[in-house]
Amino acid sequence: MQSTSKINRRDALKFAAAAAVPMVLPGHLFGADAPSKKITMASIGIGWQGGGNLGNFLHNDDCRVLAVADVDSNHLKEAADRVNKRYENTDCKPYKDFRDLLARKDIDAVCISTPDHWHSIPAIAAANAKKDIFCEKPLSHTLAEGIAMVEAVQRNDRIWQTGSWQRSVLNFRWAAGLVCNGTIGKVKRVEVGLPSGHSDFEKTGNSKPDSAPPTSLDYNFWVGPSQMMPFNPCRFHKNWRWNYNTGGGQLMDWIGHHCDIAHWGLSNAKFGCGPDDAIGPLEISATAEFPPKTDVWNTAGKYHIACKYPNNIEFTIAGGYKEIAGGTKWIGDNGWVHVNRGEFSASNPEWEKTYKAGKKRVEAAEQKFDFKLIASTNHFANFLDCIKSRTKTITPIEIAHRSQTPGHLGYIAAAVGRTLKWDAAKQEIVGDAEATKMLSKKFRAPWTA
């Protein structure tokens, strides 16, 4: 990790201490010593995305899922049954408390797919328990938690993969590689288009009254380190992302995808301003339209964040602005490249032709690049391969943290209503005490930070 401010370093230590799981030795040692052994895994948080992640690990023969943890007993049972069906036995152990799961010495790695407010505590505890970790994006609920997570993973020398799977998809790699190799010249401007509004994933609407939590749920545990609020179905499974108590709205839901790709394309300092594990804005100005604070969904629906990056690069992140297309667009002094899910376009039609010709043509073209990006075609296999080789994954924690940073800072700039100056090396907001306070949140007892 880059050096941190005194405040952030202190926060980091507090977070690490809060993750009060005894340090244990890993169950198995992998790599050259034991290449034939399966990596033993467990899943923490098995809802929408966690279910998808679990399926990917269940269908990879390099690993074996031994346990699952969830605070909703319905999700927990469903997940354990699924694992047992896959392996045709009854061995999968369900846990309500992830700390009991982490205390097991026979588990090498965990997949964390809890809501955003529940990333940092289990991730730091898992790192302290010497597990390797696959964790969902955005890395953390607050920027200070992200700094603490990076510190814990580095201190414990863990392998980390982030759920920013777009890096393992061909059109994104081709786009970022073209930009890193100077085909559009020096990058002048980057546009990151994210969704706006709120998506009603659970068909709850935004106006249901508070009610009793479902009997399957330990609601106190589900709220965890966040502020206690009455149970409301509109801010529960999946829709928790539309309330700042537990999520960060569309901005933070998508920052770990398209901003992550934008940073990847800037990772060669010669044409961008990388490396992407240390990259960051110098200045951030933002506007956002927030619903009334009393609404169940209170995250910004429309937002515009204008950043200045090193090397005079203008970097805009926006949701709800037609002129900023969805996905990532880099504009250089010699052309442009745009990429989104299932889409690729560029100022030079040959680059699109190469993409449309398929994987082999892209790989042949990439051979000629001087600045080579890591190539992965399966995000889960990349994690498991890196556990064995003890090498960095395609989205290690340092990169995930830098990818989410402009989102956190953009939200803070909009909330305080002024331009922020950011020292990316120290990870400090310069000269703004009110904004600095918003880099972290106090954890609710008994969780401490």
Ligand X SMILES: NC(=O)c1ccc[n+]([C@@H]2O[C@H](COP(=O)([O-])OP(=O)(O)OC[C@H]3O[C@@H](n4cnc5c(N)ncnc54)[C@H](O)[C@@H]3O)[C@@H](O)[C@H]2O)c1
Using CB under 6 A, list all residues that contact ligand X: 44-50, 69-72, 75, 98, 113-116, 118, 136-137, 163, 165, 221-222, 224, 237-238, 240, 253
Query: Considering the complex, what minimum distance in angstroms separates the CB of residue 312 from ligand X?
Result: 32
Full strand arrangement of the beta sheet holding 343-346: 343-346, 335-340, 327-332, 187-194, 313-319, 302-309, 283-289, 420-423, 428-429
Query: Considering the complex, what minimum distance in angstroms separates the CB of residue 31 from ligand X?
Result: 27
Query: Considering the complex, what minimum distance in angstroms separates the CB of residue 395 from ligand X?
Result: 10
By beta-carbon proximity to ligand X, the closer residue of 30 and 222 is 222
Residue 62, helix vs strand vs coil? coil
By beta-carbon proximity to ligand X, the closer residue of 67 and 288 is 67
By beta-carbon proximity to ligand X, the closer residue of 130 and 235 is 235
Query: Considering the complex, what minimum distance in angstroms separates the CB of residue 95 from ligand X?
Result: 8
Residue 244 CA to residue 288 CA, distance in Å, equals 14
Residue 449 CA to residue 436 CA, distance in Å, equals 16
Which residue is at the shortest CB distance from ligand X?
47
What φ, ψ does residue 230 adopt, rounded to 5°? -60, 150
24, with CB counted inside 10 A (0-12, 13-18, 19+), is middle
By beta-carbon proximity to ligand X, the closer residue of 21 and 69 is 69
323, with CB counted inside 10 A (0-12, 13-18, 19+), is exposed
By beta-carbon proximity to ligand X, the closer residue of 115 and 327 is 115
Query: Considering the complex, what minimum distance in angstroms separates the CB of residue 421 from ligand X?
Result: 29
What φ, ψ does residue 44 adopt, rounded to 5°? -115, 115
Query: Considering the complex, what minimum distance in angstroms separates the CB of residue 432 from ligand X?
Result: 28
By beta-carbon proximity to ligand X, the closer residue of 271 and 383 is 383
Query: Considering the complex, what minimum distance in angstroms separates the CB of residue 52 from ligand X?
Result: 8
CA proximity to 268, closest of 355, 180, 347: 180
Indicate if the alpha-carbon torsion angle 219, 220, 224, 229 is positive or negative. positive
Residue 415 CA to residue 438 CA, distance in Å, equals 9
By beta-carbon proximity to ligand X, the closer residue of 115 and 410 is 115
Residue 309 CA to residue 394 CA, distance in Å, equals 23
By beta-carbon proximity to ligand X, the closer residue of 256 and 320 is 256
- The DSSP letter of residue 240 is G
Query: Considering the complex, what minimum distance in angstroms separates the CB of residue 122 from ligand X?
Result: 7
- The DSSP letter of residue 235 is G
